[in-house]
A and B are shown apart, each in its own frame.
Chain A
Amino acid sequence: MSASAGPISPARVSIAYQNWHRFSRNPTAVIGSIIVIVVIFAALLAPVIAPHPDHAGAIVNFPARHLPPSAQYWFGTDDVGRDIFSRVLFGYRVSLMLAAVVLGFAVPLGAALGLIAGYFGGWAEIVIMRLTDVALAIPPLVMALAVTAVLTPNLIHAMFAIAALWWTWHTRLIFSIARTLRQQEFVEAARTLGASRFHILFRELLPNCASAILVKTSLDFGFVILIGAALSFLGLGVQPPTPDLGTMVASGADYLPDRWWESLLPGAAILFVAMGFNLLGDGLRDLFDVESVR
């Protein structure tokens, strides 16, 4: 890791290694990625590592209700005696899946629209960018509330509603990058060589947007998780008995302040994962030097 091992000729140091070197010296990025990796593994392995995997379901364990955190129940127990720590691990599964599905839809769509608007300009730009203005005027949480109210409140509808607005941010970001790239020589060269529009958009422009997309997506993972949690906190997202962090905070809030663990610890778990993705995105932003991405 350290350069003191001897003089290394710059030519032999791969770009991947240089990037790793810079990444590993960026405390925000390192802490962020550790949190993210821990949460992903906790979610994937929840059935194996949870102390009480059966508590993820609709079971009741009345003798153990409202117990404070202890060696047996790390985060205490809830109002029907279920282990809150186990339910937090399973809750992470729901949060991560929500964010992955929303962004899996919104990022490719947003990026493609941004590239088209930025490269072609003219009518394509007017139509696409005015569409983003409309979508921007609706708070995602409010949209999700309205959609889940019309349909039935559940995870699928919530994901649909958030994704229906989320692409805007990526469109705006990629649009501004693509617009400046449009005039550059390498695009001009590709055009002169007779490259197809598809080739220019996705082979020439897209790779140059990749780092911005990566940073934005990492930040967004945290924000989508926060919106999903807020939605289920209001009772309109994930429905019980599926363990969900926002729902747990809401039901535990009835017992504040005496039984603080029932709401504050799941709340801290949301904070933890959102913090991880945000730190990672922040670190990646320094690494790739894309100051403009928020």
Chain B
Amino acid sequence: MEFLYFLIRRVFWSLLVLFGLSIVIFVIARVMPGDPARMAMGPRASQEQVAELKAKMGLDKPLLEQYEQFVVGLAHGDLGLSLLTKRPVDDDIAETFAATFELVLATIAIAFLFGVPMGVVAAANKDGWIDNLVRFFAILGAVTPSFLLALLLQVLAGYVLHVLPTTGRLSPDAAMRADITGLLTIDTLLKGRLDGLLDALRHLLLPSLALSAATVGQIARITRSSMIDVAKQDYIEAARAFGVPNRVRVFKYMLRPAFVPPMTILGLEFASLLGNAFVVELVFGWPGMASYGVRSILQKDLNAVMGVVMISGVFFVVANLTIDVLVGFVDPRVRIRGGRA
């Protein structure tokens, strides 16, 4: 029951955050200097044409009324028309979001797959050379610009070794579409197309590697320090006294509680992950929301830009809610006490 109460409170605060986010975005779009109508029409449009578009977009109304319109639209999933594609922004984002989502999921999988073992090994060899090596890689991952890593991987795997494709989600000749879940890896599996799955995974590997560097380091670092903390607990000492084998102690009793901090960190990492996705998608020609966002920014497509920022925020909020629930499953203390440990 406590956990349910905790969840309800979290959902309430999340809604409040989204409300705040809508204000921030509205301020950027409408209150800051810069005329959206003039931007849309270009510098050669006449004053009358701009005024007409302004009236059509509702930009001549009072700010409060404009905000009301904006929020009502948001609540209906209506983000306005994209000036670039001449289609509703929500349609554009729905189409591109799945690609970004797949990239982010793959990145998180890589981050945990490498980060957690790195942290565990580092903690087991505290202050030894392995620990220092892990620490060095963690820092290197955090400070390597993601566009530099993306370019390096692209050149190395694509042009020098010729082992992996360097752009897109699928080979051009692959007759495949992501029309069930939008995630190519899942859709190809559902259709039983193993060749398609392999193709999709090969395309996914480089971008997600480039995107994961910083997160791998962060997760390794947090796992290391939380493993060291857990190892100091009395119940681990007791387990040792009872003669519980080392392997069981580490994997059964230590890893589970030590898993909580990396998970909560991942929630905060989401923001920078999404930010870096903007760069990585561009380098790899990944047809996701981030490359859509960059394109619309360069074209001054205001509705699209605001839509992308809003969806990024929603993604962040929902991801953090999900993590809270997952943490509740991993750590019973959270369920009982009703809060993050």
List, in ascending order, chain B residues with CB within 8 A of A229's CB: 145, 147
Q: Is the CB of A230 within 8 A of B279?
A: yes
Say yes or no for A34: interface residue by CB 8 A criterion: no
Say yes or no for A77: interface residue by CB 8 A criterion: no
Residue of B nearest to A129 (CB): B13
Q: Is the CB of B151 within 8 A of A249?
A: yes
List, in ascending order, chain A residues with CB within 8 A of B274's CB: 139, 142
List, in ascending order, chain A residues with CB within 8 A of B293's CB: 142, 145
Say yes or no for B133: interface residue by CB 8 A criterion: no
Q: Is the CB of B147 within 8 A of A230?
A: yes
- Tell me what chain B mostly uses at the interface: helix, strand, loop, or mixed: helix
B145 interface neighbour in A135, A136, A148, A274, Cβ under 8 Å: A274
Residue of A nearest to B160 (CB): A257
Say yes or no for B306: interface residue by CB 8 A criterion: yes
A150 interface neighbour in B28, B143, B151, B279, Cβ under 8 Å: B28
Restricting to B272-295, which residues have a CB under 8 Å from any CB of A?
272-276, 278-279, 282-283, 293-294
Separation of A139 and B123 alpha carbons in the complex (Å): 31
- Shortest CB-to-CB span from A142 to chain B, Å, is 5
A145 interface neighbour in B33, B152, B159, B297, Cβ under 8 Å: B297
Total interface residues on A, CB under 8 Å, equals 49
Residue of A nearest to B30 (CB): A150
Q: Is the CB of B275 within 8 A of A140?
A: yes
Q: Is the CB of A279 within 8 A of B139?
A: yes
Say yes or no for B144: interface residue by CB 8 A criterion: yes
Say yes or no for B309: interface residue by CB 8 A criterion: yes
The segment from B53-61, B175-183, B193-201, B312-320 found at the interface with A is B312-320
Given contacts A138-B24, A151-B34, contact A274 B271 (CB under 8 A): no
Say yes or no for B140: interface residue by CB 8 A criterion: yes
List, in ascending order, chain A residues with CB within 8 A of B278's CB: 141-142, 145, 230, 234
Separation of A263 and B152 alpha carbons in the complex (Å): 10
Residue of A nearest to B20 (CB): A134
Q: Is the CB of B316 within 8 A of A137?
A: yes
Residue of A nearest to B310 (CB): A138
List, in ascending order, chain B residues with CB within 8 A of A131's CB: 20
Say yes or no for B333: interface residue by CB 8 A criterion: no
Q: Is the CB of A137 within 8 A of B297?
A: no
Given contacts A130-B13, A291-B225, contact A236 B297 (CB under 8 A): yes
Q: Is the CB of A271 within 8 A of B144?
A: yes
Separation of A223 and B293 alpha carbons in the complex (Å): 22
Q: Mark B106-128, 1 if CB is under 8 A from A, else 0.
A: 00000000000000000000000
Q: Is the CB of A133 within 8 A of B279?
A: no
The 9 closest A-B pairs by CB, nearest first: A139-B275, A141-B275, A134-B20, A267-B148, A274-B143, A149-B297, A257-B155, A139-B271, A137-B313
Q: Which residues of B contact A (CB under 8 A)?
A: 13, 16-18, 20-21, 24-25, 28-29, 32-34, 139-140, 142-148, 151-152, 154-155, 159-160, 218, 225, 265, 268, 271-276, 278-279, 282-283, 293-294, 296-298, 300, 302, 305-306, 308-309, 312-313, 316-317
A-B contact pairs, 9 of them (CB 8 A): A133-B16, A141-B272, A142-B309, A249-B147, A267-B147, A267-B151, A278-B139, A278-B142, A279-B139
